[in-house]
């Protein structure tokens, strides 16, 4: 079973360690103590918590796309026909290529809030060996 230290859980969730501690103290996120007395979060509990936090926002249109990353537009590069829009969604940079007409119609410009909606018909999933080997802990 994989467990994460509070700092590791915070990094994975994109929040501060204090925020994770508050969630644990409030009973919103389950934690236990490891052999050294440090609080740790079970990977299964962390995944369940993340699922509850990612509920669909109210007022969105119905869609088959499930992957939505809300962020701020950090760059818009337009030419005569196409445009590149960069969105910073938490720790993630999402780059979208679209028509210039779409950018203009949506009013996308640096500093505006946008949601990157990703239809996951072609997603590569990797398991980083650094996190798996040194950060995730196993208990027998």
Query: How many structural domains compose the chain?
Result: 2
Distance, CA of 24 to CA of 27 (rounded, Å):
5
Quick one: pLDDT at residue 130?
64
Quick one: pLDDT at residue 134?
46
- 79 and 113 both lie in a single domain: yes
For range 62-73, the mean pLDDT: 79
Is this model's pTM higher than 0.75 or not? no
For range 15-40, the mean pLDDT: 93
Question: Considering only CA atoms, which of 45, 65, 33, 52 is closest in space to residue 1?
Answer: 45
Range of the domain at 7: 3-54
Mean pLDDT of the chain: 83
Distance in Å from the first CA to the final CA of the chain: 7
More confident position, 50 or 55:
50
- Looking at the domain assignment, is residue 137 inside a domain? no
Strands 67-78 and 113-118: antiparallel
């Amino acid at each position: 079973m994989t467990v994460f230290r509070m700092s590791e859980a915070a990094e994975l969730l994109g929040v501060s360690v204090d925020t994770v501690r508050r969630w644990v103290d409030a009973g919103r996120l389950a934690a236990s103590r490891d052999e050294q007395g440090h609080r740790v979060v079970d990977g299964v509990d962390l995944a369940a918590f993340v699922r509850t936090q990612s509920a669909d926002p109210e007022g969105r249109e119905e869609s088959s796309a499930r992957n939505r990353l809300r962020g701020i537009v950090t760059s818009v590069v337009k030419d005569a026909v196409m445009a590149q829009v960069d969105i910073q969604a938490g720790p993630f940079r999402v780059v979208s290529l679209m028509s210039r007409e779409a950018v203009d119609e949506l009013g996308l410009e640096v500093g505006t809030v946008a949601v990157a909606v990703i239809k996951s018909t072609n997603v590569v999933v990797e398991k980083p060996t650094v996190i798996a080997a040194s950060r995730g802990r196993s208990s027998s």
